[in-house]
Structure 1
């Protein structure tokens, strides 16, 4: 088993304990991604509570949490209005009622009359005067000293109390000072505090620490932690890049005969961006090291033809190529395009999907195994064991962020004679620059930043659902004039949780309201043959209006479709809205995208609709999306071997990433042992899957 897959499998293994931590506790800690003593130190607080001072009951302010030292006067179990534990306590300034709606005998034993307690919580006005509901408490002596630092509140999980987590972390802090991975001169030049001091400050901030700076992570201690995190990530990505350059790949030396013939047969010429990207890919394919290139471009920028040229290049060199897409509809769209372009050139294309009948799939597998089919297109069915590629030289993965690391590894491992195939990954979700610097630094990137000529701008309109009848009338007019339209809904059938218009219900309503139009329905739960027939009918113009779920989000290309209606647009993400909008505007007719929204709009929904209304540039939309939602959706499952940045923020800390990139280069060459220390501290061997 390859090392990267071994590490992936190890991630799901039962947790092992270590000194002072048994297997059961280790299992709970593993849920927090704490797998050893060093991870404890990097489990940093979410926030802090000030237990360094006491508040008198008389000075308590409603809604403001405080700490009080009180003595128990009496305790009783009250049955009204529901069973609860009630304790009356006091300090020198006044009295207070503590109420516990859920309690155990152990709590009753703590609340004995005469006991001194430190309680933490919010005082509010109750029926019997000032009261606290479920305060945090502990029994103390009357003269017990106060802590000299703020109390950290950590992310935790079921069965692991804050107090237990604090004890574990404090014990580890006492074991030894944390080694400093960066040279003193570098710390001085960058104005960074020592790593050990930063950790100790964040676990136990002094009472005079700026609470705002701790909360927004601008405190010098946070800056040091965030810098080391992005530095470790940059080093890991650079090593992944270097390791790839050490692997062997077949040199795909091509004649240019097939690619030239394809370009001559096309009814259009490549844009400048397509020519540039194709040149970069062709150079990589001729290299003895595996290409690892991301081809990114906005909706409709023409990625498929660039991928087709790359696959033909492999065929010219005598090697096979495979294109894998995440959904059957997208994979089939690619297959239909290639099946239109390539057979006239004498190239047979195999089609593999999970819905194929066994007989058809076996026949396709035989074509690939014999080498008769030089190209293959399909879904994840391509990576199943029975599929054999005798001479796989190029693997193309579309919408690559939708695939997990292991799935891409499985395709790579079907390479020829122990060599790695070249990898071309495609994405129609443009990657913002700060994200590319941080998560895609191990890839070479080609960008299609211009649209093919003849594409018409898409007009975007925001319409309240109160004006639905007007939208239906516009759809009728467009279809009667000879155009086609999509009507997209977010759900297939009724959901109690989200009272949204559903595809099936909308289909029935529109079919009744537009009897003169031929209306079709497409959703993910239809049988593959039904989906294919419906899509083929729409492409052929036999259907004028297609009611669909988001299965049409990517890959659907119908030039005659000039209108897109998106139901409950406030429920969709920005990338999804932009992808859906890109299904129209593919011909010469003026195109419009109507976003129907329901009132009242949430703040987030309003922000998303404002962005999609004001921008048509996918890169600008992606930048706004990153700002609104963070990096998770863009990165997808790609980095499942390494977590997303836990502490650094790509927008706020872009300057840190820039600096870390430069420092990573120097550390790699001048102090590799320090780079090793950083990787061990932050990733502990989990960086292996970066190389997928």
Structure 2
């Protein structure tokens, strides 16, 4: 008779505060030691009650002269506190019998909160309070207030942090000369940040300029640089197919058949990629270029190099519209050269999908284009040599790893794992500090030149009151045979945000422009409906397309000359730049109109100002990093978990540079110290950097 396994201890067996700590990731002593206060409370001094003015926050100490429950209106506890210089009422709207005991008449009580003048004179509503002896000493350090949850009281968390600080392995790992001069030892830095003395300038703590903060930032940046270098070294030990075609092969034939000449920048990056593909280690390269710089043809030439060497290539894009744009271009270029291209997306199902999957498995389809459907379990490649991921920041770590694992060790040297080469593409240029930190393990190729014949786009910013004039401009553009995009941020009405939705705008513009075919495109439409709308617009039959951001990337209609972005203040800077890039793709002068609704937030003003001032994607990216931080660029690279908790790329460039210089030396001379430092700071998070 089979014996039953003993049930695993339920998580609920843990006390509620411990469960709450685990939810916050506070499991190890080092986790608690690195859980830093978000602000501090000064409990080091007592102020006379009589000195407090309306709106002041202060700490008082006195004797309870009255404690009573008041039932008028709502039940509340009213406590009178007298310090010999004045009286103060403590008002508790939620209270327990234990509170009445603590605040009993005759008790000495220390209370802290904001003072306001109420019906009973000076009062504090729901102050922090505790019973003390008249001679209870005051703390000598500021009291930390930690990020927490309702189930994890500050008092419990403070005790847990103090205890963990005593146990955590905070000994100095780094040898002399690595840490920038003038910064304190790690243990001292953490003690200062958790319990700063009353004389510590709170401004330096809050703006993170204090030397203790600088030490933590450096430690974190060094761990990141070491982790990136370790990932790069580990990849160098992997094997990949050598993708070198014969002279006059597929890549050269494709180049000769193209109806245009590559720019110098495109030629340079094609050569960089070809050199990587010719090595027996996996390429891990990011191809970045501004909107319209011609990344797709570079990807096609890389694919041709792989296929010319007898290996398959997969290209994965985040949306069906973008994937279809790539599919059409690649079929147009490669089908005349005898290449079969398979098409795999979520909307392709049943026998049609099965037929494509079988072509891939038999090796008949040398190139596979699609969305995340490309990495589903039933898709088996005969011989995958190159994986291309477009708009890579839109994919998660797991999705990119799954694509790389589609080559299961075929033909690998003994003891080595075989991986496909990986080319990632992004139309959001990466600022230098980001490339030095999160992308330090990548080789980066940059197309820093636009193809000839592209006209600069004029960007105009208008308040929503100019809407009728904008519609009049659309009428003029359409009359001249041009096409127009109108982008809306929402698909349906929101109860909280009063924005015109795409459907209402479509109806408004249809009524305002009789005789003009106005299309509607949004994320909730079925793929076949989207394809039909895009086909009409691409063919020029539809003159005006009202869309949500599904047209953000990849849509290429050279005849479109006007882009209107409604509620532009709601979009991110990188997204605005991507949308603007849908026009200006032909020889005709193009305009991008940003309509905003007042009042604008400071961030909204900064974004619209940047858009009006520059068309340079690299400058846009730099400003976006300043405004919003690295999250927008990283996408799901960290699976939603920001690796840099303390350092700020916009402000800590000097520390980042120092960490970049120190990391290779430490790995070379003291690898065990480097490994221990990464483990202390990143633990399992280091894995995310390898994707």
TM-score normalized by structure 2?
Answer: 0.96
Shift of 1:181: 1.4
Q: Does 1:203 align with 2:194?
A: yes
Q: Is the 8 A contact 1:585 1:591 kept in 2?
A: yes
2:143 aligned to 145, 151, 167, which one?
151
SS, match of residue 69 in structure 2? strand
* Structure 1 runs not aligned, ≥5 long: 1-12
- CA shift digits 1:234-280 (9 cap, x unpaired): 00010001000011111112125211121112121111111111111
Shift of 1:600: 1.8
Shift of 1:24: 5.0
Name 2:212's counterpart in structure 1.
221
Shift of 1:204: 0.6
Name 2:585's counterpart in structure 1.
586
Name 2:64's counterpart in structure 1.
72
Q: Is the 8 A contact 2:182 2:211 kept in 1?
A: no
Name 1:279's counterpart in structure 2.
271
Name 1:401's counterpart in structure 2.
393
Name 2:524's counterpart in structure 1.
525
Q: Aligned ranges for residues 272-671 of structure 1 at < 5 Å?
A: 272-416=264-408, 417=410, 418-640=417-639, 643-671=642-670
- CA shift digits 1:627-685 (9 cap, x unpaired): 11111111111123863311111011011000000111111111222212211211123
Count of residue correspondences: 676
1:231 aligned to 215, 222, 236, which one?
222
Name 1:46's counterpart in structure 2.
38
Name 1:166's counterpart in structure 2.
158
Name 1:251's counterpart in structure 2.
242
Shift of 1:16: 7.9
Q: Is the 8 A contact 1:641 1:687 kept in 2?
A: no
Shift of 1:530: 0.6
- Distance in 1 separating the partners of 2:119 and 2:298: 73
Q: Does 1:89 align with 2:90?
A: no
- Distance in 2 separating the partners of 1:444 and 1:228: 24
Shift of 1:15: 10
SS, match of residue 242 in structure 1? helix
Q: Aligned ranges for residues 2-41 of structure 1 at < 5 Å?
A: 22=14, 25-41=17-33
Shift of 1:177: 6.8
- CA shift digits 1:420-460 (9 cap, x unpaired): 11000011111110111110001000011111000000000
- CA shift digits 1:584-640 (9 cap, x unpaired): 000000000011111222222111111111111011111111111111111111123
TM-score normalized by structure 1?
Answer: 0.95
- Distance in 1 separating the partners of 2:264 and 2:10: 53
- CA shift digits 1:155-185 (9 cap, x unpaired): 1123001110100010122336721012234
Q: Is the 8 A contact 1:641 1:688 kept in 2?
A: no
Q: What is the alpha-carbon root mean square deviation over aligned residues?
A: 1.7
Shift of 1:32: 2.0
Distance 1:15 1:160, change over 3 A: farther
Q: Is the 8 A contact 2:263 2:449 kept in 1?
A: yes
Q: Does 1:134 align with 2:133?
A: no
Name 1:6's counterpart in structure 2.
none
Distance 1:101 1:650, change over 3 A: same
- CA shift digits 1:478-521 (9 cap, x unpaired): 01101000011111121111111111001011011101211111
Q: Is the 8 A contact 1:123 1:132 kept in 2?
A: yes
Distance 1:185 1:567, change over 3 A: closer
- Distance in 2 separating the partners of 1:413 and 1:177: 37
Q: Is the 8 A contact 1:73 1:113 kept in 2?
A: yes
Q: Is the 8 A contact 2:80 2:88 kept in 1?
A: yes
- Distance in 2 separating the partners of 1:14 and 1:124: 50
Q: Please, which moves more after superposition, 634-643 or 131-140?
A: 634-643
* Structure 2 runs not aligned, ≥5 long: 1-7, 411-416
